[in-house]
Structure 1
Amino acid sequence: MRNGFLKLFIGFLFLFLEFRIGPIDVLADPAGIGFIYVGLDQLSKVVEVNATLRQLTALLIVLALPSMFYPKFDIHDEWSWWGIYNNGVGFMYIILTYHLFQYMLKVASHFNHHSLFQQTSRLFPLYIIVVLITEMYLPFTMNFHNSLLNGLILILILVVFLLYIMFLLLLLKYRRVEKVE
């Protein structure tokens, strides 16, 4: 369990960070998703991972390859091919996270860790809803020039940042899950 959740943590950390040397993303998304895939493979030996989560992770490794060469945050036209690609992969990351939260609940239930189950149950809907709203809302913000709306956008981005940190910390807590006899 320990190594599997550590790999999930590292994978999501790679997805969170973007470190570029020239045009190349050193902490590439496909590598992060690869860590997630390997972590899920290790965890499946203890608690079964559903096929959807495995297949989605494998698909995202391939689909995320172009993101190594094009910055996520340098898309000026959300309706260009790169913008549509970026938004599509972003939605697939949300679906991946949704299925991972489901798996985490399954692990907490399997090992009878009620406090971890409750923490995950509270963060799960909040994280998915806020990130989904942000993913749907941000492409339309390029048309807003109102300072109040810009402030709301900044607050929304900060909330997503905090939720992502909470998610990463929750993954680290799962590293300590052991069978309660």
Structure 2
Amino acid sequence: MRNGFKQLFIGFLFIFIKIHIIVDLFPDFIGYIFIYNGIKQIATLSSQPYEKLKNLLIILVIVSMPNFFLNDQVIQQSEWLGYYSALLSVLKVSLVYLLFTLLQEVAKLLPYKEGLISTKRMYYWYMSVVLPSLFIQSFLMNTSYDNSLTGSILIVMFILIIEISFLVYLNNMRKRYPKSGIYESYAKGAVS
């Protein structure tokens, strides 16, 4: 279980960090592969179904491959590539939604309730920041330059804060599980 959360953390870290020197040094599709491996470990140990997550992650790996070569300037200059980044954002929000559904079920297996409480809290905060941000971004282009700039800066700040908080949450969840296989035997006994 601990290794599954470590894989999730590394995967979302790859998606979070953007360093373009000719190509993206932390490609998103590699991050989605890490996330897939982490979800597979977490779901199989807790006997939770993850078919929707698996299919969505396969789609994300394929769809995010062009992002390896495209930098933000190229995306902003092309009208059609603007839709590409919007599609990636919507798919990522869908991923996080399905992931939190799985994580809430996994957190219920813990012998203490702090994991479930922090999972629910992170889910509500993440969705209450990201969903309105996606909605507001579509209207910002129709406002004046000053309003658009101010709104964009605020959205970037809120998204940055919530993404860092999400990474901290994943790291904290990883630390809640023992290093040895004690939890795995506990979880299998609780499911049986």
Do both share a fold (TM > 0.5)?
Answer: yes
Which range moves more in the overlay, 48-57 or 6-15?
48-57
The one-letter code of the counterpart of 2:40 is D
Which range moves more in the overlay, 160-169 or 140-149?
140-149
Query: Are positions 1:46 and 2:41 aligned together?
Result: no
Any residues of structure 2 matched to 1:10-159 within 5 Å, and which? 10-22=10-22, 24-47=23-46, 48-72=48-72, 74-76=74-76, 80-159=79-158
CA deviation vs aligned residue, 1:136-170 (integer Å, no higher than 9, x gap): 32244334335355334322321111111111111
Q: Please report the RMSD computed on the Cα atoms of aligned residues, expressed in angstroms.
A: 2.1
CA distance in 2, matches of 1:73, 1:94: 23
Q: Is the 8 A contact 1:37 1:54 kept in 2?
A: yes
TM-score, normalised by the number of residues in structure 2: 0.83
CA distance in 2, matches of 1:6, 1:64: 22
Number of residue pairs matched by the alignment? 179
* Structure 2 gap segments, 5+ residues each: 178-182
CA deviation vs aligned residue, 1:92-132 (integer Å, no higher than 9, x gap): 00000111111111111122431121112122122113212
Higher helix share: 2
- What is the Cα deviation at residue 76 of structure 1? 2.6
* Structure 1 gap segments, 5+ residues each: none
Partner of 2:44, secondary structure, is coil
CA distance in 1, matches of 2:49, 2:19: 31
Considering only CA atoms, is the larger Rg found in Structure 1 or Structure 2?
2
